[in-house]
């Protein structure tokens, strides 16, 4: 079977049978397109012709960057995390072709993703978070939206994909009641309900009353999305990311700040405040507590910094 045909079958499998999210499918499509280009460049057209050396060579090609295979435009080398993601996509693809009967051997079985250095999540100090949350201009519809988005990201630890995928009906309970919450759909469409604090409830209420109706009125066909763009359609991940960065600059925050920074800050500040790690796991929607434990390392680093700075005999 030709490699492009096998990739198309695999992507259909991800979408239809495994129910992978559009973002996951898009990521796999991008990585496997690079893989297909690489194989074509080295003269490999069919699954049967792929060897472990080709798979390993693809990983090395992504790391090295430089001139593209088969005379294409040059590309910069990818970070270890991006190479690891691409190798995982290739391994999953080849494993599927064996199960599907399209191939008799799995050339990727013995090729491991490159090891990545452990990077601790970056959390903002509380005063920086405060400045960021106060940055949007709450006299405009877009400012009310951004204020509600920022409060929600920091107040619930939601992923940006979860936030922009929200519908109005995903707000549970009354916003003037402490029992109000938010229905989030995480990876694999796994549902969880998280509580909304008073600041998030107030910002969300102001947006729903004064901001969203104005934005929704600009749409040809108003939809159920909670966060809307300037034309009344659902806010995209890219636009939400840009909004966070814009307000971070307004707040005078020099560090790189994105939506995930607020998720990291949410988890770190909860643990600093004495929250149980299992509770934080549930709030973040992590399948395993092992994933959440990385935040305990962040708090240990913070304790060490405080100790070295404050104790007279620490140094």
DSSP 169-233: GGEES-TTSTT-EEEEE-GGG-EEEEE--HHHHHHHHHIIIIIHHHHHTT-SS--SBSSB-TTSS
> Are the CB atoms for 295 and 121 separated by under 8 Å?
yes
User: Buried b / exposed e across 158-185, counting CB within 10 Å, b at 16+?
Assistant: bbbbbbbbbeeebbeeebeeeebbbebb
Give the residue among 210, 67, 46, 42 at the shortest CA–CA distance from 141: 210
The rounded distance, in Å, linking the Cα atoms of 155 and 176 is 16
Triad 309, 310, 311: Cα angle to 5°? 110
Active site residues: 159, 187, 260, 263, 286, 295
The rounded distance, in Å, linking the Cα atoms of 117 and 11 is 30
Distances (CA, A) of 21 to 9, 100, 188, 239, 304: 17, 21, 7, 19, 40
Sign of CA dihedral 241, 242, 244, 245: positive
| Angle, helices 3-12/22-41, rounded to nearest 10 degrees | 170
Cα 233 from chain centroid? 21
Structure tokens that stand for 118 in this block: 């452990």
> Are the CB atoms for 246 and 273 separated by under 8 Å?
no
The rounded distance, in Å, linking the Cα atoms of 222 and 234 is 9
């Amino acid at each position: 079977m030709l490699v492009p045909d096998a990739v198309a079958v695999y992507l259909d499998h991800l979408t239809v049978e495994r129910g992978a999210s559009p973002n996951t499918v898009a990521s796999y499509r991008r990585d496997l397109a690079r893989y297909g280009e690489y194989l074509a460049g080295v003269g490999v057209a069919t699954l049967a012709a792929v060897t472990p050396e080709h798979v390993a060579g693809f990983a090395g090609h992504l790391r090295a960057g430089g001139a593209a295979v088969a005379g294409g435009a040059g590309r910069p080398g990818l970070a270890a995390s991006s190479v690891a993601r691409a190798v995982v996509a290739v391994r999953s693809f080849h494993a599927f072709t064996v199960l599907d009967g399209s191939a008799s051997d799995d050339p990727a079985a013995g090729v491991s993703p490159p090891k990545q250095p452990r990077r601790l999540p970056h959390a903002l100090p509380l005063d920086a978070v405060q400045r960021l949350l106060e940055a949007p201009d709450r006299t405009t519809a877009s400012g009310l939206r951004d204020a509600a988005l920022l409060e929600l990201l920091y107040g619930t630890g939601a992923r940006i994909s979860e936030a922009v995928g929200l519908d109005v009906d995903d707000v549970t309970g009354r916003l003037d009641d402490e029992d109000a919450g938010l229905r989030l759909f995480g990876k694999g469409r796994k549902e969880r309900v998280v509580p909304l604090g008073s600041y998030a409830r107030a910002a969300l209420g102001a947006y729903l009353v004064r901001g969203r109706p104005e934005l929704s009125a600009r749409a040809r066909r108003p939809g159920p999305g909670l966060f809307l763009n300037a034309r009344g359609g659902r806010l995209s991940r890219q636009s939400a990311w840009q909004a966070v960065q814009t307000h971070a600059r307004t707040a005078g925050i020099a560090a790189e700040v994105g939506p995930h920074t607020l998720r990291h800050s949410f988890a770190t500040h909860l643990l600093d405040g004495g929250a149980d790690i299992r509770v934080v796991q549930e709030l973040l929607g992590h399948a395993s507590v092992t994933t959440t434990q990385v935040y305990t390392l962040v708090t240990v680093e913070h304790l060490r910094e405080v100790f070295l700075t404050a104790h007279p005999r620490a140094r």
